[in-house]
């Protein structure tokens, strides 16, 4: 068992590996080489976004790997200000140009709402965005469409009015922030949950939570990062850890030779929710604006 050969079938019939590789903050002179190393380690599913400024590097790394494009799953996202019918079409073509690809496997709405956006506005603009994505899907520019940071009320509004439902919803998920209600909503609607910051971005946990993960790590002879990734995988969630060191890249894949018990999964799910990175989907103050010249 490994993370490439283990695949979920999404609600539109397309397949996706159990684990991906996140490219946020894979920046700097070495970014093409870092992604090439991830490819050599075996990663085939890559997450990027128009916001991250890593689409060019990802496209270059894939071309230079000489592995056929069809063997990769490439996911990118349009940013808050790129929502809307015309904007979405423009944003997708700009991403394709940066990636130097003629299609993406997954295209997501990155964030459901700008801070202060009234209910009527975000509902309407998300539906216009979705209509453009459904059309781009029919035109073969996208293989699957999905959401990111959508809570149940954002999904409700979309599901009531869409023709094609989202295949995935990418959320902040890790021990200490398990968003059980939204994950359950996704599973109930056959929308595969995906975990961003599955390692909590390496932020320090409180002592009690750290003790639980350390104890399990010792029991299974694994690292706390591996316990976190295994926990998510057993909950049916796709983690997309970012790692720049080869040691981390490899160890993050070595999570298929042990299983956490039902009781241990419950213990982690019920840990105090203390490690939230602080970005609520309805009140997100963007820390970074898109670079129009990227």
Residue ranges in contact with ligand NAP by CB under 6 A: 22-25, 47, 110, 148-149, 170, 196-202, 223, 225, 240-245, 248, 251-252
Tell me if 174 sits within 8 A of 275, measured CB to CB. yes
Minimum gap (Å) between residue 208 Cβ and ligand NAP = 20
Q: Which is nearer to ligand NAP, 135 or 153 (CB)?
A: 153
Q: In the annotation, is 52 catalytic?
A: yes
Pairing of β 142-148 and β 168-172: parallel
Minimum gap (Å) between residue 170 Cβ and ligand NAP = 5
What residues form DSSP beta bridges with 269?
none
Beta carbons within 8 Å of 26's beta carbon, 6+ residues apart: 34, 35, 54, 57, 242, 244
Q: Which two tokens stand for residue 168?
A: 């995935």
Name the closest residue to ligand NAP (Cβ).
22
Minimum gap (Å) between residue 205 Cβ and ligand NAP = 12
Minimum gap (Å) between residue 192 Cβ and ligand NAP = 14
Minimum gap (Å) between residue 43 Cβ and ligand NAP = 12
Residue bearing tokens 């009320």: 153
Q: Which is nearer to ligand NAP, 101 or 243 (CB)?
A: 243
Name the active-site residue from 52, 107, 177, 220: 52
Q: Which is nearer to ligand NAP, 132 or 200 (CB)?
A: 200
The whole-angstrom separation of Cα 272 and Cα 277 is 14
As annotated, the active-site residues are: 52
């Amino acid at each position: 068992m490994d993370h490439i050969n283990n695949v979920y079938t999404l609600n539109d019939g397309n397949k996706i590996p159990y684990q991906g590789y996140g490219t946020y903050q894979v920046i700097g002179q070495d970014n093409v080489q870092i992604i090439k190393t991830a490819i050599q380690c075996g990663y085939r599913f890559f997450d990027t976004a128009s916001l991250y400024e890593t689409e060019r590097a990802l496209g270059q790394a894939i071309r230079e790997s000489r592995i056929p494009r069809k063997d990769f799953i490439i996911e990118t996202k349009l940013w808050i200000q790129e929502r809307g019918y015309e904007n979405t079409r423009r944003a997708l073509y700009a991403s394709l140009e940066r990636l130097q690809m003629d299609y993406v496997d997954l295209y997501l709405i990155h964030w459901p709402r700008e801070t202060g956006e009234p209910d009527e506005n975000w509902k309407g603009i998300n539906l216009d965005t979705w209509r453009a994505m459904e059309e781009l899907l029919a035109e073969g520019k996208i293989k699957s469409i999905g959401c990111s940071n959508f809570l149940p009320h954002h999904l409700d509004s979309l599901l009531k009015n869409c023709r094609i439902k989202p295949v995935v919803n990418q959320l902040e998920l890790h021990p200490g922030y398990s968003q059980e209600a939204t994950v359950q909503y996704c599973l109930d609607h056959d929308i595969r949950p995906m975990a961003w910051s599955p390692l909590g971005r390496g932020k320090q946990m409180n002592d009690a939570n750290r003790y639980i993960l350390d104890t399990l790590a010792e029991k299974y002879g694994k690292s706390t990062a591996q316990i976190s990734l295994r926990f998510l995988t057993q909950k049916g969630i796709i983690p997309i850890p970012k790692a720049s060191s080869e040691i981390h890249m490899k160890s993050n894949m070595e999570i298929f030779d042990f299983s956490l018990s039902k009781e241990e999964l419950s213990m982690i799910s019920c840990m105090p929710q203390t490690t939230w990175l602080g970005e609520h989907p309805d009140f997100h103050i963007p820390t970074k604006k898109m670079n129009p010249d990227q």
